[in-house]
């Protein structure tokens, strides 16, 4: 039953929302850049201190992808490079170069990497880590193949260039690079920039959308990633229909909308469990799954609370319950439950005209 007591849940929600990003070393703001194949078209990173996870793929192995940011002398630069596929199995192993202004001596960059005049290169070659890392925030997995932490020697604009090679010991080594150029699946990478984990409200709201894009980056089928939510909605809808045949259907439009919202929240819980076990299949059991379970619990609480209101003859839709439904929908936005559908339905259930009158 959605009552004003849902407001008492808000302080708990806020506390966990604050603590989870702080305690999660992998809580980066996701970015999906466009074409950036030269210093002139480099993707600009506004704040290199803030932690960003840039998901991209190399179109061709004979070119690099460029990122730029400005830092002051002595400021820390922290970078890491990830792939969703084992380099030993897929053969693709990315590396990166940090292009530093006023650097007179540096590493020799590959011929296809453009180093601007007055810059020198520090090359960080990728290494196969051997095993994947569990990402509790999404959940998901990745292989960290390279990382770097250094202090900026001078003020100025710095470039990071990601480039890749095929491992010589992989079966792909006997294939032509031209054939591999068309295999975007094998050239996916993630570049992590920065070290201060923070989210704006808009970034928090957009996480549900971004996570679906990350699943695609991991190589997952988009329909399959949505299947747990779809199945819960379909099965729940069938149950509601059978209840209606027995005269036990939701009594008004608000309760119908709330019932579908509750199913969407439970569907998110099912999706989280599916992704968690899928990740276990790559990484094995991992302690960061406890973070994943926090978000699972949020979805279950929201789903049960909303359905409890929806399937009962009472309570009726009073002002207090309208507030409770609206708060439920807003909380779902920030704990990434219901894939926006749950939020929209819960708020709609709060706003529709009431067909009953009464006191709370």
Confirm if 273 and 296 have CB atoms less than 8 A apart.
yes
User: What's the number of domains the chain is made of?
Assistant: 2
Please check whether residue 65 lies inside any domain of the structure. yes
* Residues 213 and 293 reside in one and the same domain: yes
Domain of residue 36: give its range: 28-196
pTM score above 0.95: no
* Residues 175 and 316 reside in one and the same domain: no
Going by C-alpha positions, the residue among 205, 183, 193 that lies closest to residue 31 is 193
Please, what is the end-to-end C-alpha distance for the chain in angstroms? 12
Please check whether residue 254 lies inside any domain of the structure. yes
Q: What is the pLDDT of residue 167?
A: 58
Distance, in Å, from the CA atom of 295 to the CA atom of 273, rounded to the nearest integer, reads: 10
The number of residues in the chain equals 360
* Residues 128 and 192 reside in one and the same domain: yes
Please check whether residue 120 lies inside any domain of the structure. yes
* Residues 93 and 113 reside in one and the same domain: yes
Q: What is the pLDDT of residue 294?
A: 94
* Residues 118 and 15 reside in one and the same domain: no
Q: Consecutive 10-residue runs of the chain (360 residues): their mean pLDDT?
A: 44 48 53 89 95 90 92 97 91 94 91 94 95 91 96 97 72 45 64 91 91 93 96 94 81 90 98 97 93 95 94 80 94 94 97 62
Please check whether residue 356 lies inside any domain of the structure. no
Query: Residue 127: exposed, middle, or buried by beta-carbon count in 10 A (0-12, 13-18, 19+)?
Result: middle
Please check whether residue 124 lies inside any domain of the structure. yes
Domain CATH code at residue 69: 2.60.120.380
* Residues 192 and 303 reside in one and the same domain: no
* Residues 253 and 315 reside in one and the same domain: yes
Q: What is the pLDDT of residue 63?
A: 86
Q: What is the pLDDT of residue 21?
A: 43
Q: What is the pLDDT of residue 166?
A: 62
* Residues 183 and 58 reside in one and the same domain: yes
Distance, in Å, from the CA atom of 289 to the CA atom of 354, rounded to the nearest integer, reads: 42
Distance, in Å, from the CA atom of 236 to the CA atom of 231, rounded to the nearest integer, reads: 8
Q: What is the pLDDT of residue 150?
A: 97
The H-or-E segment that residue 302 falls in is helix 289-310
* Residues 53 and 179 reside in one and the same domain: yes
């Amino acid at each position: 039953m959605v009552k004003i007591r849902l407001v008492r849940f808000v302080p708990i929600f806020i506390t966990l929302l604050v603590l989870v990003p702080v305690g999660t070393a992998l809580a980066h703001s996701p970015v999906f850049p466009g074409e950036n194949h030269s210093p002139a078209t480099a993707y600009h990173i506004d704040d290199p201190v803030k932690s960003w996870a840039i998901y991209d793929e190399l179109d061709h192995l004979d070119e690099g992808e460029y990122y730029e940011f400005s830092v002051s002398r002595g400021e820390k630069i922290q970078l890491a490079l990830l792939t969703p596929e084992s380099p030993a199995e897929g053969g693709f192993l990315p590396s990166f170069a940090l292009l530093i202004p006023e650097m007179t001596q540096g590493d020799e960059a590959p011929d296809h990497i453009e180093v601007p005049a007055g810059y020198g290169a520090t090359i960080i070659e990728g290494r196969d880590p051997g095993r994947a890392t569990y990402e509790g925030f999404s959940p998901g997995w990745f292989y960290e193949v390279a990382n770097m932490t250094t202090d900026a020697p001078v003020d100025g604009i710095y470039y990071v260039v990601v480039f890749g090679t095929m491992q010589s010991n992989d079966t792909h080594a006997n294939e032509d690079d031209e054939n591999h150029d068309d295999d975007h699946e094998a050239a996916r990478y993630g570049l992590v920039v920065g070290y201060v984990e923070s989210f704006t409200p808009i970034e928090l709201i957009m996480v549900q959308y971004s996570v679906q894009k990350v699943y695609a980056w991991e190589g997952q089928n988009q329909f399959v990633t949505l299947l747990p939510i779809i199945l819960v909605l379909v099965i729940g809808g069938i149950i509601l229909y059978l209840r209606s045949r027995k005269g036990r259907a939701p009594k008004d439009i608000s309760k119908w909308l709330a019932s579908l919202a509750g199913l969407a929240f439970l569907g998110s819980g099912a999706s989280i469990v599916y992704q968690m076990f899928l990740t276990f299949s790559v990484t094995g059991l991992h302690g960061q799954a406890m973070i994943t379970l926090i978000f699972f619990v949020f979805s279950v609480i929201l789903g049960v609370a909303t359905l409890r209101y929806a399937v009962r003859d009472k309570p009726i839709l009073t002002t207090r319950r309208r507030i409770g439904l609206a708060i439920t929908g807003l909380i779902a936005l920030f704990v990434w439950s219901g894939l926006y559908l749950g939020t929209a339905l819960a708020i709609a259930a709060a706003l529709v005209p009431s067909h009953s009158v009464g006191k709370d």
